[in-house]
Structure 1
């Protein structure tokens, strides 16, 4: 059964529900050759990734300041283009660690001193289910919600 296209308001609500859902897993791509799965958190309109600072994705993201994150399934996808706002050791960010741990099933604060939080500011968010939603898929542009 094919559903009617969602309104922009509904797509934004669905996107925010996904971003706030427990155990938010996504595919993170940087300018390097890496596409990696990372667990993320949505905190104060930012996506938070936690990973080892020596990880190639972390190094590339810190060097370039840009990432694209794919969330959801192929027939209900959310794509986020983001800029690295800052990065910091997990041990120096108890408030971020609490928010991350509350949303997910893992506490990066216990992962060791090499782990960092990558705080990503979304600059563009697109969401669509089927081809009929593609023309109006952009929900955020230049860091501002369009709805």
Structure 2
């Protein structure tokens, strides 16, 4: 059985970990204090990974940060944590990628804030994918759902 591999690229880099045995995602850590500016930001995690064949990694938000905002600090007050209106943008890492893993953060704040070294900033979920080509056809098989989508089942 081949294992996934991780290369640590700085002293602050951490191996992705699962908080619990049944957790689907691996927590990803900020390797050093990082200033989040208004708009889009890329936090390089200072790790590179090698995934198993026919798998991909999705970078996803942590549910607590999605609900409450990302925990960080004002530049002038590094002692009092606050929640900031910012989101992790979903991303995909292909199995052939060997570069530095990063997390994209979109900040809706008007001021910069700092995310501290060691913060669990996002999660990475590894999934198998289909690696087959498409076949061009003139008809698709029928299903009960058919073409229903985009909220067709309602909210109740």
TM-score w.r.t. the length of structure 2 is 0.28
Bigger RCO (CA 8 Å, 6+ sep): 2
Q: Which has the larger radius of gyration?
A: 2
TM-score w.r.t. the length of structure 1 is 0.29
